[in-house]
Chains A and B, each alone.
Chain A
Amino acid sequence: MSLLKYESQQREPLVDGDKNYHQITEDIIGPIEAKPTRLWYIGFWISVALLIFGGYSVYREVTYGIGQWNLNKTIGWGWDITNFVWWVGIGHAGTLISAILLLFRQGWRTGVNRAAEAMTIFAVMCAGQFPIWHMGRVWMAFFVMPYPNTRGPLWVNFNSPLLWDVFAISTYFTVSLLFWYSGLLPDFATVRDRAKTKFRKMMYGVAAFGWTGSTKHWQRHESLSLVLAGLSTPLVLSVHTIVSFDFATSVIPGWHTTIFPPYFVAGAIFSGFAMVQTLLIVVRKVMNLQDYITMGHIEAMNKVIVLTGSIVGCAYLTELFIAWYGQNTYEGWAFFENRANIMSPYGWSYWLMMFCNVVSPQLFWSRKLRRNITVTFFMSIIVNIGMWYERFVIIVTSVYRDFLPSSWSTYYSPSIWEIGFYLGTFGLFFTCFFLFAKYFPVIAVAEIKSILKTSGENYKAKMTDIEKSDAEKFYVEKVEHAH
């Protein structure tokens, strides 16, 4: 068996520049060992300030009740649940990248999976805040747990989608965290073994769990990653499906649609990838990781964005068609009057959503725009604004006009504490992300090393000669046939 690995020149290199194993370690672990930059401190403290403001907003809500938010009689779910669904959606890209792309053997995943998984975990943490604090009497939150109690025992309702949510999101968070951390062990060991200071040696020593890199351990590690990927694949699809059940199993016109699960999942992946782009475009520049998160990576993610964006657009149009075709008065009203009529109180939000999610991503059919950093960055923000509005449209425009016109509440605008809570989750998210970017290997070092000799630019260059001479013959005789 020859160990020479061959990959077609048609494929873009995944690691640019003249790299060897040690250089990869230097490039990725180096920033951890350096002092944080001024920019890092500024970003970090802004995030902490937002987090504190969010904490105060939550304090007001807990002390004075949900009345601190401008929710009203028909709009019982407003910004809070909009934000919840938005954050959970963002939390879908990480596991999709690390699990589904692992199963599909997509090599480009190695450059972005670590940061995307971190983003997933932080986003799910933010998402979890909203239903918890929305309970009002948050000290009763443990009632959602099925445990033998002195009230009967009165159990939770296992037939309720809201309870499914509890299980789905806590499982998703736990499994994502385990997946992420098991992948981090070998990289923490790398940091530990080259640490110069005692403190760093101790901290990363604890974090690495005593990892040595033994062949048997790697074998088990590979098996673990593969099975966790297999488990996470249906899991990631199930989470947003179950979130969509919160709406779809109700009888509210505008929510009561069977298209919701696939439409929500596509939307989640769409917004998740947009958030990954927003973060990684900044990270690769600031931390000088352009060789690992290449234009090819950005283009690959933009392809996912244009695909899922088009699926979402298709779902919007299907909904409209069915609302007309079904000839249900209430459903028709919800779609054509409350949403699509631009003159109605919330018509603007529907068309903003349509523009951001359906029209703008179509630009990515152009290869030139897919490979343009500035366009990608702005697009990623537009997509996330659009996806926030999607949830806002679904929630608010379906409930602000009740069956009883006397209880219509035609204008709902959030209070400062409602907005503060949302900003607070941004604070939480970015505080975590800044800490992650400083103290964690933002790229999976071991995984990059394992693809270097097939997909590194310098190694690929050597394959040109092979290709010219007689690739077919070489391939049959010499190349290791990876399983």
Chain B
Amino acid sequence: MAGGIKKFVVGSFDDEAILFPAVKNVRKAGYKIYDVYTPFPVHGLDHALGIRETSLHTAGFIYAITGTTTALGFMSWIFTKDWPLNIGGKPHFALPAWIPITFELTVLFSAVGMVLTFCYLCNLAPFVKKHHFHPRATDDLFVMAIECSDKTDDAAVQSFLQNAGAKEINVQVAETGWWIGRYDKEQKLYRDEKGY
């Protein structure tokens, strides 16, 4: 959900080779980087920002074994307890014949579970809207948003970003988090209520 309004100093870089040292220097100077928005996955940027490794793959593993046990448990219960069928006098507990379905359900549970978890963690869904600091963040700019507190001197941050090589610098007051909305419509949120 919408997380309230904050003030940001936003710097846009046009080259990831300039972005990396900038990230390092901004962090060293003690400013708080809210996020960096990039048009493609820049390898190593998560480490540079000090973001911890994701555990999404662990979730995937848990979903996978859930699928395995569901398939095996269900088929064993049906064919040995609930309704044992005599198929050519073969054993009711026919493990080798169940391997294909067990495998498929393992993959299915893991894939579906992981994608849903991914969407949940990243707040991704149809009709979800978020604040975008720069429309070209999905095209060719690397957009760094620095979060300001009451004590932050905006001008100092701006000149700092200037020295770090940012091409476009501005100050934005923005809604954090997400809300239900459409991209073709402007939204009236807390910003208007609080009179910014």
The answer to whether A binds B is yes
Contact among B104, B115, B182 with A224 in the assembled complex (CB-CB below 8 Å): B115
Q: How far is the CA of A31 from the CA of B68 in the complex (A)?
A: 44
Contact assessment for B139 and A175 in the assembled complex, using a CB-CB cutoff below 8 Å? no
Q: How far is the CA of A179 from the CA of B115 in the complex (A)?
A: 9
Query: What distance in Å separates the Cβ of A463 from its nearest Cβ neighbour in chain B?
Result: 15
- Output the nearest chain A residue to B43 by Cβ-Cβ distance: A482
Given A193-B139, A220-B54, A227-B57: A213 touches B37 (CB 8 Å cut-off):
yes
Contact among A189, A214, A223 with B54 in the assembled complex (CB-CB below 8 Å): A223
Number of residues of chain B lying within 8 A (CB) of chain A: 71
Q: Is A9 in the interface zone, CB < 8 Å from B?
A: no
Contact assessment for B83 and A155 in the assembled complex, using a CB-CB cutoff below 8 Å? yes
Chain A residues with CB under 8 Å of B111's CB are 174-175, 178-179, 228, 231
Q: Is B7 in the interface zone, CB < 8 Å from A?
A: no
Contact assessment for A3 and B20 in the assembled complex, using a CB-CB cutoff below 8 Å? yes
Q: Is B162 in the interface zone, CB < 8 Å from A?
A: no
Chain B residues with CB under 8 Å of A185's CB are 124
Binary interface encoding of chain A residues 154-182 relative to chain B, with 1 for a CB under 8 A from any of its CBs, else 0: 11011101011001100100110011001
- Output the nearest chain B residue to A2 by Cβ-Cβ distance: B17
Contact among B38, B97, B123 with A213 in the assembled complex (CB-CB below 8 Å): B38
Instruction: Kindly identify, within residues 216 to 240 of chain A, every residue whose CB is under 8 Å from any CB belonging to chain B.
Output: 216-224, 226-228, 231-232, 234-235, 238
Q: How far is the CA of A185 from the CA of B130 in the complex (A)?
A: 14
Q: Is A22 in the interface zone, CB < 8 Å from B?
A: yes
Query: What distance in Å separates the Cβ of B16 from its nearest Cβ neighbour in chain A?
Result: 6
- Output the nearest chain B residue to A226 by Cβ-Cβ distance: B57
Contact assessment for B122 and A220 in the assembled complex, using a CB-CB cutoff below 8 Å? yes
Q: Is A290 in the interface zone, CB < 8 Å from B?
A: no
Q: Is A122 in the interface zone, CB < 8 Å from B?
A: no
Chain B residues with CB under 8 Å of A360's CB are none
Given A209-B119, A215-B35: A224 touches B100 (CB 8 Å cut-off):
no
Chain B residues with CB under 8 Å of A242's CB are 100
Number of residues of chain A lying within 8 A (CB) of chain B: 76
Chain B residues with CB under 8 Å of A1's CB are 20, 44
Q: Is A210 in the interface zone, CB < 8 Å from B?
A: yes
Q: How far is the CA of A6 from the CA of B74 in the complex (A)?
A: 53
Q: Is A370 in the interface zone, CB < 8 Å from B?
A: no
Contact assessment for A155 and B78 in the assembled complex, using a CB-CB cutoff below 8 Å? yes
Q: How far is the CA of A446 from the CA of B74 in the complex (A)?
A: 42
Contact among A158, A238, A446 with B39 in the assembled complex (CB-CB below 8 Å): A446
Candidate in A204, A226, A235, A482 with the most chain B CB atoms within 10 angstroms: A235
Instruction: Kindly identify, within residues 114 to 159 of chain B, every residue whose CB is under 8 Å from any CB belonging to chain A.
Output: 114-115, 118-119, 121-130, 132, 135-140, 143
Contact among B17, B74, B107 with A4 in the assembled complex (CB-CB below 8 Å): B17
Contact among A25, A158, A206, A238 with B182 in the assembled complex (CB-CB below 8 Å): A206
Q: Is A190 in the interface zone, CB < 8 Å from B?
A: yes
Q: Is B45 in the interface zone, CB < 8 Å from A?
A: yes
Chain B residues with CB under 8 Å of A325's CB are none
Q: How far is the CA of A215 from the CA of B43 in the complex (A)?
A: 10
Contact assessment for A220 and B16 in the assembled complex, using a CB-CB cutoff below 8 Å? no
Binary interface encoding of chain B residues 80-116 relative to chain A, with 1 for a CB under 8 A from any of its CBs, else 0: 0011010100100010011011011101101110110
Contact assessment for B139 and A201 in the assembled complex, using a CB-CB cutoff below 8 Å? no
Q: How far is the CA of A206 from the CA of B122 in the complex (A)?
A: 15
Contact assessment for B51 and A215 in the assembled complex, using a CB-CB cutoff below 8 Å? yes
Q: How far is the CA of A189 from the CA of B129 in the complex (A)?
A: 11
Query: What distance in Å separates the Cβ of A76 from its nearest Cβ neighbour in chain B?
Result: 21
Q: How many A-B residue pairs have CB under 8 A?
A: 213
Query: What distance in Å separates the Cβ of A406 from its nearest Cβ neighbour in chain B?
Result: 28
Query: What distance in Å separates the Cβ of A367 from its nearest Cβ neighbour in chain B?
Result: 33
Chain A residues with CB under 8 Å of B49's CB are 215
Q: How far is the CA of A154 from the CA of B115 in the complex (A)?
A: 33
Contact assessment for B87 and A157 in the assembled complex, using a CB-CB cutoff below 8 Å? yes
Q: Is B178 in the interface zone, CB < 8 Å from A?
A: yes
Interface of A is mostly: helix
Contact assessment for B108 and A218 in the assembled complex, using a CB-CB cutoff below 8 Å? no
Contact assessment for B118 and A220 in the assembled complex, using a CB-CB cutoff below 8 Å? yes
Query: What distance in Å separates the Cβ of A292 from its nearest Cβ neighbour in chain B?
Result: 15
Chain B residues with CB under 8 Å of A209's CB are 119, 124-126, 128
Q: How far is the CA of A214 from the CA of B177 in the complex (A)?
A: 12
Q: Is B196 in the interface zone, CB < 8 Å from A?
A: no
Contact assessment for B78 and A146 in the assembled complex, using a CB-CB cutoff below 8 Å? yes
Contact assessment for A194 and B183 in the assembled complex, using a CB-CB cutoff below 8 Å? no
Contact assessment for A220 and B182 in the assembled complex, using a CB-CB cutoff below 8 Å? no
Contact assessment for B128 and A223 in the assembled complex, using a CB-CB cutoff below 8 Å? no
Contact assessment for A212 and B97 in the assembled complex, using a CB-CB cutoff below 8 Å? no
Contact among B101, B132, B140 with A21 in the assembled complex (CB-CB below 8 Å): B140
Q: How far is the CA of A171 from the CA of B90 in the complex (A)?
A: 28
Query: What distance in Å separates the Cβ of A154 from its nearest Cβ neighbour in chain B?
Result: 7
Contact assessment for B139 and A159 in the assembled complex, using a CB-CB cutoff below 8 Å? no
Contact assessment for A192 and B83 in the assembled complex, using a CB-CB cutoff below 8 Å? no
Q: How far is the CA of A153 from the CA of B119 in the complex (A)?
A: 37
- Output the nearest chain B residue to A202 by Cβ-Cβ distance: B184
6 closest cross-chain pairs (CB), A and B: A205-B183, A210-B128, A21-B140, A209-B124, A202-B184, A164-B100
Taking beta carbons and an 8 Å cutoff, which residues of B are in contact with A? 16-17, 20, 35-46, 49, 51, 53-54, 56-57, 60, 64, 74-75, 78-79, 82-83, 85, 87, 90, 94, 97-98, 100-101, 103-105, 107-108, 110-112, 114-115, 118-119, 121-130, 132, 135-140, 143, 178, 182-184
Taking beta carbons and an 8 Å cutoff, which residues of A are in contact with B? 1, 3-4, 20-22, 25, 146, 152-155, 157-159, 161, 163-164, 167-168, 171, 174-175, 178-179, 182, 185-186, 189-190, 192-195, 198-199, 201-202, 204-207, 209-224, 226-228, 231-232, 234-235, 238, 242, 245, 445-447, 449-450, 480, 482-483
**Given A146-B74, A218-B42, A224-B118, 14 other A-B contacts at CB below 8 A?**
A1-B20, A146-B78, A153-B83, A155-B82, A159-B94, A159-B97, A168-B104, A174-B108, A182-B115, A185-B124, A206-B127, A217-B124, A227-B114, A231-B60
A-B contact pairs, 20 of them (CB 8 A): A146-B74, A159-B98, A192-B183, A193-B138, A195-B183, A199-B184, A205-B183, A209-B124, A211-B124, A214-B122, A216-B35, A219-B41, A219-B46, A220-B56, A220-B122, A224-B114, A228-B114, A228-B115, A238-B100, A446-B40
